[in-house]
Structure 1
Amino acid sequence: MYQAFLNWFLPQSCFLCGTENEQAICASCLQALARTEQACLRCGAHLTTPHQVCGHCLRHPPPYQRLQAAFAYTYPTTKLIQAAKFHNNLAVLHFLGQWMARCMLLNNPPDVLIPIPLHPQRLRTRGYNQAVELAKQVSFLTKIPYDDVACIRHKNTSPQTRLSAHLRRENLKDAFSVLYTRPQWQRVCLIDDVVTTGSTVKELAHELRRAGIKQVDVWCCAKA
């Protein structure tokens, strides 16, 4: 409990290198976090050619309009997200949320941020939803409101990390429900920590589109 208190309220050193620092991550280590310089505007996948949209998205457009990621899901970003997600390091989690807000392009801001919900059982086990904590930081810095109760996860899905892309889609089928939308919500932005195959955000984006939302975007901390 004492260590959790220090991680949450009183970070005294950089989580990665240990140097004395007021922030959870020092400026030098922040520079080491890889960013995807050339990525598909639709799904965020790395591109090796100067096209704006990858071939897969041209053939099979996802239900969301655009995905933006603050970092690539490589070391040491992987270490930060693991600490934030599974080891109660909310100082690191909040720091990542603040950098998400700084990295996102806001020329056409969404009307609301919706963090990817956790199943109640997993929320009780973990104690917090990392996507909600990220959304709080992004909302605070961008002044875009967030809503963490409009959507629910009523299917306690198996962990996605060891599943194939096909099994991930099957695992998440009918996992989410939209309880309500607001008339002013024309554009919704989903918030998540990591997007790999995109199965999770696709499933919730489908539900939001069925509920009448005209456009769904995705902002995540890292894209694999």
Structure 2
Amino acid sequence: MILDLLFPNRCVGCNRIIEADILVCGLCYSHINFTHYDYFNNNPVKEKCNLLFPTENAYALMQFEEESLSRKVIHELKYKSREKTGKILAEWVTERLDFKDLKPDLLASVPLHPKKLRKRGYNQLHLFTETLSQFYKIPFDHNLIKRNHNTRAQALKDKKHRIESSNIFSLSQPVSGKHILIIDDVFTTGNTVSSIAWEILNADSNKVSILVIAVDL
């Protein structure tokens, strides 16, 4: 209670004091550019993914635009030590995405390199993924995908330098006959999810779908 008085929770958008368990005030929330994509049909993320690898379905919660509130929200999650933002963002997803009777078999979040994980103190996708797992009753595995190399965040790179690298990821164990939903924060070129997707697809009879918090196309 004392900490709440000394350090009240403030809206990411306008900095006004808000309730402790929310991220933005009502007015700023109305200004967020949600995508309203159809997970089961063509949308810009799925179309881009299909140019890189066979994709079952794809979804992005928000548009990741220059100087936008969605960009501020992502940066709060990744760089401002606000891990609980992941739970709020996952709840925004559950309000919009219905898997119906075609739920994936497993949720797999994009990992951080151990060096970056130690520096940040948490993986920004873990609480997000766990909240989705609990709501949709789909198991998750944070350790299925292993990051072999420490690379600079895609969102911080100049677009001219966002190039595909090989052998960045590998699987920690064999998977077969699974439909895996790969979860990432920001979709830019698609190189990250593509690298992971091919590791999964090169195994026996697997399928992949994509869910990202924001898309920057």
Taking structure 2 as the reference length, the TM-score comes to: 0.82
Partner of 2:23: 24
Q: Secondary structure at the match of 2:167?
A: coil
Letter paired with 1:90: E
Alignment of 1:1-224 (within 5 A): 12-17=9-14, 18-22=16-20, 23-37=22-36, 44-45=43-44, 54=47, 60=51, 62-74=53-65, 75-107=68-100, 108-160=102-154, 161-164=156-159, 167-170=162-165, 173-182=166-175, 186-224=178-216
Distance 1:203 1:87, change over 3 A: same
> Which residue identity does 2:173 align to in structure 1?
Y
Distance 2:64 2:151 in 1: 22
Query: Whole-Å Cα distance in 2 between the matches of residues 62 and 133 of structure 1?
Result: 27
Number of aligned residues: 206
Q: 1:216 to 1:42 in 2, by over 3 A?
A: farther
Query: Cα gap change, 1:190/1:167 in structure 2, threshold over 3 Å: closer, same or farther?
Result: same
**Structure 2 CA distance for partners of 1:131 and 1:214, relative to 1, 3 Å:** same
Displacement of 1:140 in angstroms is 1.8
Deviation readout 1:46-105 (Å, 9 max, x if unpaired): 8xxxxxx75x667x3533322201111131010011011001012323211221233223
* Structure 2 unpaired stretches of 5+: none
CA contact 1:100–1:220 (8 Å) conserved in 2: no
**CA RMSD for the aligned pairs?**
2.8
Letter in 2 for 1:119: H
Aligned 8 A contact 2:84 2:127 in 1: no
Distance in 1, Cα, partners of 2:143 & 2:123: 12
CA contact (8 A) 2:23 2:85 kept: yes
CA contact (8 A) 2:23 2:88 kept: yes
Give how far 1:155 is off: 1.1
User: What is the CA deviation profile of residues 110-158 of structure 1, one whole-angstrom value per residue up to 9, with x for unaligned ones?
Assistant: 1110000111111111111112221012112212111001110011123
Q: Is the 8 A contact 1:101 1:137 kept in 2?
A: no
Q: In structure 2, what is the Cα distance between the partners aligned to 1:176 and 1:123?
A: 15
Whole-angstrom CA distance in 1 between matches of 2:109 and 2:151: 17
- What amino acid is aligned across from residue 64 of structure 1 in structure 2? T
Following superposition, the deviation at residue 195 of structure 1 comes to: 0.7
Gap change, CA 1:25 and 1:100, over 3 Å in 2: same
Given that 1:114 and 1:147 are in contact with CA atoms closer than 8 Å, whether structure 2 keeps it comes out as yes
What amino acid maps onto 1:151 in structure 2?
Answer: I
